[in-house]
Structure 1
Amino acid sequence: MTRGPTLSAHPAPYLPRPLDAFNAAPADEARGLLLRCLRSDRWAHRIADHRPYPDLDALLAATDEAAYDLAPADLAQALAGEPLPELPADAYAAAHTALSAALAAYEARFGHVFVVDLGGVPPAEALDRVLEAIRSRWANDPEEERAITAEELRRLARGRITGFLRGEAGNPSGASLITQVGPP
């Protein structure tokens, strides 16, 4: 049997790693990506201005440090920019009503929207987890709750950045985040 000609060995085209692309992106593009992870201008500028990052761990350490330094105004900006989540379509109307009431009561008590990172929680359990988190955090004093909220935002930003850089950003708007609830 005769074999056809073999192809010459050509190296595969170089495809930049997502972190390399992030490091090399124009500052406005990098800040735009970062603002999709956490809607604080100061935070996004700080992370973008300190590029390049040698690896994902260094980038995540920088994002954590910048998130810990958020001033109350930065935190308010980040909270105001959080998107509406996608809620499970098959949830009962009563569950939506209960969640809407709990979120409204939380916002009235603490003066800001409720935020929780639900990374890894199956969608069918999301509503229960949010209600549970609201109940458990309800007794906090406002300063303690603000610190917990900042930590939840930090965790969300970390998960979103990791998702972007791993190409898992199918829903970069925050499917793991519950801030408000619309009508069922």
Structure 2
Amino acid sequence: MIRRRDVPSILPKPLQGFGLTFSQMFRKVTTEQYPEDQRPTAPRYHGRHVLNRHPDGLEKCVGCELCAWACPADAIYVEGGWNTEEERYSPGERYGAIYQINYLRCIFCGLCIEACPTRSLTMSNDYELADDNRQNLIYTKEQLMAPLLPGMEQPPHPMRLGKTEQEYYLRADPPAPVDVAVEPGT
């Protein structure tokens, strides 16, 4: 009695592989014309980092260095500085005096974003970081800062949204009591 598994295959394995290749030859080609036609990125894409600002223009970074500690590639260097009343860069006591991200080392994992307690550091959708000079891929604080929007003022300047840190971060006066009219019989 001859078993089916003992009978050699009619087509040898290399011919089966060629058949798969041959079937792929007639599919529609999906080539992207990259520089001319760019596809939109996904909403949660991890691209270039951005250091955000408060609505009055002060920096959100407080120089805590947690992003540098969280980075597995050791791509972030932060050196904190102290704010004074004459020169205030952030609403707290400290600010990031020196901030650098080395994109030659960065693996775009986003752990630095998760570690940031003030949501100062976020990632944009910008992914075109290629350069022919290695020094240009070490971004400084000035290159990473979000642009000033209308109504913002270039730091250093005093806090505009409150006199104390608590008022500044809450950005609202205590709520006024609300009069609720109660109809009789309800």
Same fold (TM over 0.5): no
Structure 1-normalised TM-score?
0.24
Structure 2-normalised TM-score?
0.24
1 or 2, which has the higher helix percentage?
1
- Flag the structure with larger Rg: 2
